[in-house]
Chain A
Amino acid sequence: MSAYAGWIELALAIVLGTIGQLALKFALRKGPGAGRSRLAMLNGPLGVWFCCYAATTLFWLLALRTIPLSQAFPILGLQYALIPMFSSRLLDERLARTQWSGVALIVVGVAMVGHS
């Protein structure tokens, strides 16, 4: 179990980082809306982003206790494969073919680094 602990933490850091950045995209897209104060904005996607950012940092630190940085840091790049995949679905973003190729490259690269 202790062998996998670091990897679970890394996975959580990646997932939370992805959710956080998707929330940020959503928040930037929506804008403040009519009559909402800046503080009220924290209730919505911006608040989600902040909580995710804090949680990601925590799990990142925990993961680094056991996983080498030269391995963990590149694998964190998996976010940049996950974010386009979800934003094309959830935020109606159209992605160019080169972007999908980039997603594939990231996945292959992460698999290689994960097994190195």
Chain B
Amino acid sequence: MHNAPHKSHDRVRFLVALILSITFGVAGQLLLKLAALRSVGDLFAFASLATMVLALAVYSAGILAWIVALRGLPLGIAYPVTSLSYVGILWGSWYWFGEQLSSARLLGVLLIFAGVVMVALPQRPAAAADPAAAEGRS
């Protein structure tokens, strides 16, 4: 019974980890895109390699935060929140790289996200979500 107040405090920690994992994941992907663009013309340009190293470091931090988050949050909460990754990457692609976001693209992303959640979270209680699937994001 004395665990109850600790439980709500711990929850916050795991939610923070979840938010961090999404933030780092989005930042990592945007940095990877930047690294890729900088490599056009010169595959091993220093600016590209440096950006890539930073991108992978940030992205790895995101993976670690995701693993931490999953220790204290059910997949049913964690997975829907990853929709923010799609939002962040779409916005970042538009804002930083001037990409056009047509309504077909946005609708397609919505369908993909809905599909990913449905695959990750089976409705039948007997069929537990596979932990390996939970480790793999994006």
Please list the residues of chain A having a beta carbon within 8 angstroms of any beta carbon in chain B.
21, 24-25, 28, 57, 60-65, 68-71, 73-74, 76-77, 79-81, 83-84, 87, 93-96, 98-99, 101-116
- A64's nearest neighbour on chain B, judged by CB, is B36
Q: Which of B37, B100, B118 contacts A102 (CB 8 A)?
A: B118
Q: Decide: A25 and B130 in contact? CB cutoff 8 A.
A: yes
Count of A-B contacts judged by CB separation below 8 Å: 144
- B107's nearest neighbour on chain A, judged by CB, is A112
Number of interface residues of B (CB under 8 A): 49
Q: A68-B93, A80-B116, A105-B114 are in contact. Are A95 and B122 (CB under 8 A)?
A: yes
Give min CB distance, A114 to chain B, whole Å.
8
Give min CB distance, B70 to chain A, whole Å.
14
Q: B79-116: which residues lie under 8 A (CB-CB) from chain A?
A: 86, 89-90, 92-94, 97, 99-102, 104-105, 107-116
Please list the residues of chain B having a beta carbon within 8 angstroms of any beta carbon in chain A.
29-30, 32-33, 35-37, 39-40, 52, 56, 86, 89-90, 92-94, 97, 99-102, 104-105, 107-120, 122-124, 127, 130-133, 135-136, 138
Q: Which of A64, A80, A95, A112 contacts B32 (CB 8 A)?
A: A64
Q: Decide: A65 and B118 in contact? CB cutoff 8 A.
A: no
Q: Decide: A69 and B115 in contact? CB cutoff 8 A.
A: no
- B131's nearest neighbour on chain A, judged by CB, is A28
Q: Decide: B89 and A73 in contact? CB cutoff 8 A.
A: yes
Q: Decide: A98 and B111 in contact? CB cutoff 8 A.
A: no
Contacts of A84 in B (CB 8 A): 119
Q: A64-B36, A109-B109, A112-B111 are in contact. Are A99 and B94 (CB under 8 A)?
A: no
Cα–Cα, bound, A28→B113 (Å): 26
Contact sample, A vs B, 14 pairs, CB 8 Å cutoff:
A28-B131, A28-B132, A60-B32, A65-B36, A68-B100, A69-B89, A69-B92, A70-B94, A73-B86, A101-B115, A102-B116, A105-B114, A109-B108, A109-B114
